[in-house]
Structure 1
Amino acid sequence: MTEIIPPTTRPGLPWPLIVGLSALALLWPLAELIGIGQGAPRALTIIAIIAVTWICVVGLGGVPRPVPVLALTGLGHGIISMIAAAIFGGFDQPVWTIFIALGIDAFWGAVAGLMALGIQKIWGSRA
């Protein structure tokens, strides 16, 4: 007789969460529209808000597979940023740079995912 092995159940990716966290890319044009000045202070503030939100939501929320989730979030962030830049007239880069920029966004998302994973490990050990 053959033994039936049940398929492993691996949780799917939380696509609504990925899209929602990616949408934080809209903080950039929103800051511009409401008149927050340009420069390093604004950029660092927006980057910090986005990074802390991603890491805390995924890390403290116990989202399964945080590294791929936030890598895809970074990719989605890059796509949304490019679309917003095209709409608002700020995208005048060569097409080949799109792939490099998206790769960098996915990389930083994966780094945030590693941080969220670390939070999950620490938080889980305390529970």
Structure 2
Amino acid sequence: MINKQNAILSLVLGALALIRPLMKITGLIDIFGSEAVGSIVMTVLISVVWIIIVLAIKVQNPIQVLVFAGISYAAFSIILSGILSPILTGELQGPLTNPIALVSVFITNIIWGLILGIIASVISHLEK
């Protein structure tokens, strides 16, 4: 069971990761040269920030927190897509239009959070 502090942290980290799709929507992602490169760079930067935050706060269970952060990000990005795609394109697009994509977004972000949580746990144990 995730405690209240870790739940809040997971939600904050998930919301923080929305910077990537927001940069894509606004075109700011192109400052990295291309959308593909920008997406990779931003994902790496977000990953590093997530790990630094859980290590700095000395979270007891970084795997749990970062898996839930991945779930939070997946939910937030799906909601953001559902709100913005009709406004920007005139029709609903994205994971909400495809059940397989919807599941895929959650699985991908759970795996992302799990990998980062394992990395943070290993670093945390090495620091002790």
Using the size of structure 1 for normalisation, the TM-score is 0.79
Partner deviation per Cα, 1:35-77 (whole Å, 9 max, x = no partner): 3125222101210111001111112321011111111110111
Moved over 2 A (4+): 10-13, 32-35
Which residue of 2 is the match for residue 83 of structure 1?
79
Task: Indicate whether 1:70 and 2:61 are aligned.
Answer: no
Q: Note if contact 2:2-2:64 (Cα within 8 Å) is conserved in structure 1.
A: no
How many residues get paired?
115
Which residue of 2 is the match for residue 12 of structure 1?
3
In 2, the alpha carbon distance for the partners of 1:65 and 1:32 equals 32
Q: 1:22 aligns with which of 5, 14, 18?
A: 14
Task: Indicate whether 1:56 and 2:56 are aligned.
Answer: no
Gap regions ≥5 residues in structure 1: 1-9
| Sequence identity percentage | 24
Q: In the superposition, relative to structure 1, how do residues 121 and 85 fare at CA in structure 2: closer, same or farther (>3 Å)?
A: same
Greater percentage in helix: 2
Using the size of structure 2 for normalisation, the TM-score is 0.78
Find the structure with the greater CA-based Rg.
1
Partner deviation per Cα, 1:6-29 (whole Å, 9 max, x = no partner): xxxx98251111110000232124
